[in-house]
Amino acid sequence: MSTYESRLSDLGVTLPDAPAPAANYVPWHVVGDIVYVSGQVSMQDGTLVTGKLGADMATEDGAAAARLCAISLLAQVKAACGGDLDRLVQVVKLTGFVNSTPDFGDQPKVVNGASDFLVEALGDAGRHTRSAVSAASLPFGCAVEIEGIFRIK
């Protein structure tokens, strides 16, 4: 078991198989030592986590959905690294999209669910730049979608 996967195990997290794309795109692309991962929607055990922040979902529930997106991002990075998550050097940037009402302003608190998890799981390698933006809607009514850029060795 890799060092990162051991840390994940200590947190009670087992990476799922990398989710397959839902449309005509690739889940990740490696360019040199950078992995670009397509947006990962909030999903738990094969079930989409849906809802709109500011309407029918609390900020804490949105943060939990963002954490699930981060787990899927790591699963994609592992796949891009041929199954060796320890090739991950740094989470470079996340862009988080939060399905929210026009008056909801806590998108950063929602995306913190992903950011906090990545730092907890990866230590300094999990520290990253990021954007957290509102979306009027997301695919399939998902609560959160996050894309990421990662550096690997």
Per-residue model confidence (pLDDT) at position 110: 98
- Residue 139 scores a pLDDT above 70: yes
Count Cβ atoms within 10 A of the Cβ of residue 111 and give its class: 0-12 exposed, 13-18 middle, 19 or more buried. Answer: buried
Give pLDDT tens digits for 9-47.
999 999 999 988 889 999 999 999 999 999 999 999 889
pTM given for the model:
0.96
Q: How far apart are the first and last CA of the chain?
A: 18
In the chain, what are the domains?
Answer: 41-152 (3.30.1330.40)
Per-residue model confidence (pLDDT) at position 1: 56
Q: To the nearest 5 percent, what fractions of the chain are helix, strand and coil? A: 35, 30, 30
Nearest 5°: the CA angle 18, 31, 33 is: 90
Task: State both tokens at 11.
Answer: 């947190």
Give pLDDT tens digits for 98-112.
999 999 999 999 999
Give pLDDT tens digits for 113-135.
999 999 999 999 999 999 999 99
